A and B are shown apart, each in its own frame.
Chain A
Amino acid sequence: MTQRIRSKISRGSGELAILSLLSEQPLYGFEIAKQIGERTGGALKFTLASLYPLLYEMEKRGWVEGRWQANSAGRDRRYYRLTPGGRRQLAPLRAEWRSFFQALDSLAGVSHA
């Protein structure tokens, strides 16, 4: 697997993970990374370096929107929420990944690995 392919897969999965999380509630960067790590049992891990370029790119595409807002402790955070455009991306992205894994499964039996 080349680096380019790996990077595309990782980017695509990152987009799906972020959109899915933000469809539940607005979150700020650290929380996004933390929840992705926790909810995937550490299988998906975002560092600062991998998270923010992706978030900013998704913001530029109009999928998410970041807004500074104080949290319950009065600390300013940049909360990201899903835009209607991002919500529209979510269903086809999910379907695409589902068919990707089904295809991979039929080829390599990855779901039983």
Chain B
Amino acid sequence: MPDWKKLVREHIASSALSAASREEVVAELADHLEETYEAARSRGLTDAAAFELAAQEVSDWRSLVKEISRAKEENPMNPRTRSLWLPAMANLIAAPGLLMILQKLAVQPRVLWIGDTAMVLYLPWLVTLPIFGAFGALLAKRAHARSVNRLIVGLSPALAVLGAFALVLPVSLVVDSHRLRDFPFAYFALTIFNWVVLPGLGLLIGTLPFLREPNRPAPSEA
């Protein structure tokens, strides 16, 4: 019986796999070769013919080693970090980053007065938000995120603001409970509309095209 483990170990010695990973691959591939060999022997093939048949399972070891190394490449990030938190973080930096740049460049916002409450609209920023929605959703899609996570990533700049408001409102009501009667709910609602709903709609427009298809090599891509 050929020493399959020795044979495989010699071939994949040059791989970039960690020692533990390499031993696991050696055991698994050797096992496959051994079973191919045994099946051929049980069909009545000679020792040499069975060995030849098993050897034909791999025509190019170098290419196989490269493919296995790439497939098993250890990634320190878990799938959720890679497909959700990281793309969301990138989007959270990019979208508000552009707003800060516009403010630094002294781009004047349009101010709408609704009653005695002002609504500050950075129209150039709002117009670019579909791009950020698409950017986030695409990053998530490339990291094999599910549709719901792509949506969360695409909308993350608006969701972050909503989260901040959701935190600030109850805290401020608790701290200043005596002012509850005078609390400017209309102003608060308008602010949420201005900084959550409007940007959220812009982001959603960009996100939607990336929600449909799961990310994988598909026949239609061919």
Residues of A within 8 A of B (CB): 5, 8-9, 11-13, 15, 28-30, 33, 47-49, 51-54, 56-57, 60-62, 76-78, 88-89, 92-93, 96-97, 99-100
**Which B129-164 residues sit within 8 Å CB-CB of chain A?**
144, 146
Q: Is the interface of B mostly helix, strand, loop or mixed?
A: helix
How far apart sit A32 and B210, CA to CA, in the bound complex (Å)?
Answer: 33
Does any Cβ of A come within 8 Å of B95's Cβ? no
How far apart sit A30 and B35, CA to CA, in the bound complex (Å)?
Answer: 7
Does any Cβ of A come within 8 Å of B112's Cβ? no
Q: Which residues of B contact A51 (CB under 8 A)?
A: 32
Does any Cβ of A come within 8 Å of B221's Cβ? yes
Beyond A8-B218, A33-B32, A48-B64, 18 extra complex contacts between A and B, CB < 8 Å = A8-B217, A12-B218, A12-B219, A29-B32, A30-B35, A47-B56, A47-B57, A47-B58, A48-B33, A48-B57, A49-B57, A49-B67, A52-B29, A78-B28, A78-B31, A96-B218, A97-B219, A99-B220
Across the A-B interface, the 4 shortest Cβ-Cβ residue pairs: A56-B71, A53-B67, A48-B57, A100-B219
Most buried by A among B58, B67, B222: B222
Residues of B within 8 A of A (CB): 24-25, 27-29, 31-33, 35-36, 56-60, 63-64, 67-68, 70-73, 75, 79, 144, 146, 213-214, 216-222
In the complex, the answer to whether A15 meets B217 with C-beta atoms within 8 Å is yes
In the complex, the answer to whether A9 meets B79 with C-beta atoms within 8 Å is no
- Nearest residue, chain B, Cβ from A66: B28
Shortest CB-to-CB span from B90 to chain A, Å, is 21
Say which residue of B25, B67, B75, B216 sits within 8 Å of A12 (CB atoms): B216
In the complex, the answer to whether A52 meets B214 with C-beta atoms within 8 Å is no
How far apart sit A69 and B180, CA to CA, in the bound complex (Å)?
Answer: 63
Say which residue of B68, B73, B146, B213 sits within 8 Å of A52 (CB atoms): B68
Shortest CB-to-CB span from A94 to chain B, Å, is 12
Q: Can you name 8 A-B pairs with beta carbons within 8 Å?
A: A8-B218, A11-B217, A47-B56, A48-B57, A49-B60, A56-B71, A60-B72, A76-B31
